[in-house]
Chain A
Amino acid sequence: MKRSGPLFTLFAGLVLALFMLSVNATTGTGSSSYSDDSSGTSEPTAPPTASTPGERPDPSRTATPTPTKKPPADGRYTGRTDDDSASIAITLSDGKAVAYFCDGRATESWLKGDVEDDGSMRLTGKNGAKLDGRLTDDGSKVRGTVDIRKKSWAFTAPKAKKPSGVYRATTEVRGEKVDGGWIVQPDGSQVGILSRDGEPAQAPRLDPATGTVVLDDGGRLTARPVVP
C-alpha cells in the first residue's frame, strides 16, 4: 500500500512550473517589475498606419527587423543629446517604452509610457520629467526631446544591439538603498549614476557582459537590462 498522493503533488507542481516557464518564454516581454502602468492598453493589434503630417509619409514600413503585426517592433535605442551633454537610452517592448536619461554626474531620469502605433511616444517620469519621441519609419532611430527640471534637450538615439542599452540595479546594502542606472553605447562607452539613499553620484563601471558592478567598498551589484 503505497501512497501516490505525494507523487501527484510533486508532479502537479512540476507541470505548473513548466507551464509558467513556457508562458514566460513565449510571451517573453510581458509587464515588468518596473512598470506601474495601469493603462491596460498593452495589446496594440492594429496594423501600422501612415504617419502624421509633417513626417515623411512612408507607406512601406518594412524595414523593421521583426515582421510582426504589432507595431512598433521591440528594440533598444541608445544615443546622446544633441549638445552631447548626456546619454539617453530607450527600450521598446510590446507597445511600451522605458527610457533613461543620464548625464553621468547628477541628472538622471527614468521615464515610461506607451508607444503609439505610428511610433510616437510620450513618456513621463518623476518630478514632471517628460520625453516626447518618435520612432523613424524605418525603425532605425528615435528622435525627440526630453524635459527634466525645466531644462530641455533634443536627442537622437539610433537602434542598438546587446550589450548596448540601459541597465538598472536596485538593492539595499547594509540598510542603505542603492539605485543605479547605466547606459552602454554601441562603441562600448558608458555612463551611469548610482544613488545611495537618494544621493546621486557617478556610478562605477558596469561590466555589460555579466551586469556586474564592483562598488568602491568592494561590494557587488548586479544590473539587469531594463524592459518596460
Chain B
Amino acid sequence: MSVDPNAPTQGGFPVPPHAGGPRRPHPARFLVPALVAAAVAVGLGAYGKVHDPEGTAFNLAGFSSTSAVKSWLGTTALGFALLQVVSALMVYGRLPGPSWSAALHRWSGRIAFLVAVPVAVHCLYALGYQTYSTRVLWHSFLGCFFFGAFSAKMLLLRSERLPGWLLPVVGGLVFAVLTVVWLTSALWFFRTFGVTT
C-alpha cells in the first residue's frame, strides 16, 4: 500500500487542502482505492471459498454459540454505523451537530469496523464462502464486498480534492452494504433462534 495517490505526478503545484479545485485529479487517486477494494473483496471471497471451513472456532464466554456472538457483534456494528450516518450529516451541515461531530464520526466508524472484523474472521474461517441459499449467497458476497468498500473509503479519505459527492456516495454504499449483511445474518439469526445470547 505504498502507492501514494498524491505523489509527484500531480503537476507540482502545492495542493490547497479541501479545495474542490478545477484541475482534474490524477486517476491514480481513484484507481488505487478501487484496486485495493477489489483486491480485498476478491481476496476474502477466495479465501472463504478455497480453504476448508473449520466448522468451529474460538468462542466467547457467556454466549451459547458463536452465531450468537456474531449476531450481537454485528448488531453493535450496525448501531455504530447508524451513528455514522447521523454524524456524517452533522459534518456536512445537514443536521445541527456539536463541534466534535467529526471526531464522533471517526471514532464510531473505527469502533464499527473493529467490531465487524472478528465477525468476518469467524465467518470466513469457520464457515467460508457459501452459496447454498439466496440469503447465504448474498451474505457471503456482500460481506466480502463490505470490507473492500470500506478499504476504498478509508483510502479515499487520504486524498484531497475529491469530487464532493464521492465520499458521501462511497460512505452510503458502505452503510447500505453493511445493513444488508446484517439483515441476512443477525436479523435472520434472531428471527430463527430468538433474541438470545
Provide 25 A-B residue pairs closer than 8 Å at the C-beta atoms, listed in order of the A residue. Answer: A1-B160, A2-B158, A6-B154, A6-B155, A6-B158, A7-B155, A9-B109, A16-B118, A20-B122, A24-B126, A27-B58, A28-B54, A29-B56, A30-B56, A31-B59, A31-B66, A32-B56, A32-B57, A32-B59, A33-B65, A172-B133, A172-B135, A224-B55, A227-B54, A227-B56
Instruction: Check B136–A171 contact: CB distance below 8 A.
Output: yes
The one of B57, B114, B118, B151 that contacts A30, using a Cβ cutoff of 8 Å: B57
In the complex, A2 Cα to B156 Cα: how many Å? 11
Q: Is B162 located at the chain interface by the 8 A CB criterion?
A: no
Q: Is A60 located at the chain interface by the 8 A CB criterion?
A: no
Q: Write out the residue numbers on chain B whose beta carbons fall within 8 Å of the beta carbon of A24.
A: 54, 57-58, 121-122, 125-126
Instruction: Check B158–A7 contact: CB distance below 8 A.
Output: yes
Q: Is A106 located at the chain interface by the 8 A CB criterion?
A: no
| Chain B positions 125 through 158: 1 when the CB is less than 8 Å from some CB of chain A, otherwise 0 | 1100011110110000000000000010111011
- Nearest Cβ in chain A — how far from B43, in angstroms? 12
The one of B121, B130, B160 that contacts A20, using a Cβ cutoff of 8 Å: B121
| New contact pairs (4) apart from A17-B121, A27-B58, A32-B66, CB-CB < 8 Å | A6-B154, A9-B110, A36-B65, A93-B56
In the complex, A227 Cα to B151 Cα: how many Å? 34
In the complex, A5 Cα to B154 Cα: how many Å? 9
Instruction: Check A171–B65 contact: CB distance below 8 A.
Output: no
- Nearest Cβ in chain A — how far from B118, in angstroms? 5
Which chain A residues in 1-41 approach chain B with CB under 8 Å? 1-7, 9-10, 12-13, 16-17, 20-21, 23-24, 27-36, 38, 40
Q: How many A-B residue pairs have CB under 8 A?
A: 106
Known: A32-B66, A172-B133, A220-B132. A3 touches B125 (CB 8 A): no
The one of B121, B132, B160 that contacts A21, using a Cβ cutoff of 8 Å: B121
Instruction: Check B117–A23 contact: CB distance below 8 A.
Output: no
Residues of B within 8 A of A (CB): 1, 6, 17, 53-59, 61, 64-67, 106, 109-110, 113-114, 117-118, 120-122, 125-126, 130-133, 135-136, 151, 153-155, 157-158, 160
Q: Is A226 located at the chain interface by the 8 A CB criterion?
A: yes
In the complex, A1 Cα to B160 Cα: how many Å? 9
In the complex, A40 Cα to B62 Cα: how many Å? 9
In the complex, A172 Cα to B137 Cα: how many Å? 12
- Nearest Cβ in chain A — how far from B49, in angstroms? 11
In the complex, A27 Cα to B59 Cα: how many Å? 10
- Nearest Cβ in chain A — how far from B42, in angstroms? 16
In the complex, A141 Cα to B171 Cα: how many Å? 57
In the complex, A12 Cα to B17 Cα: how many Å? 26
Q: Write out the residue numbers on chain B whose beta carbons fall within 8 Å of the beta carbon of A31.
A: 56, 58-59, 65-66
In the complex, A222 Cα to B55 Cα: how many Å? 11
A94 nearest in chain B by CB position: B56
- Nearest Cβ in chain A — how far from B95, in angstroms? 23
User: Which of B59, B113, B132 gathers the greatest number of chain A CB atoms within 10 Å?
Assistant: B132
Instruction: Check B55–A226 contact: CB distance below 8 A.
Output: yes
In the complex, A33 Cα to B58 Cα: how many Å? 10
Known: A9-B110, A13-B113, A24-B58. A222 touches B132 (CB 8 A): yes
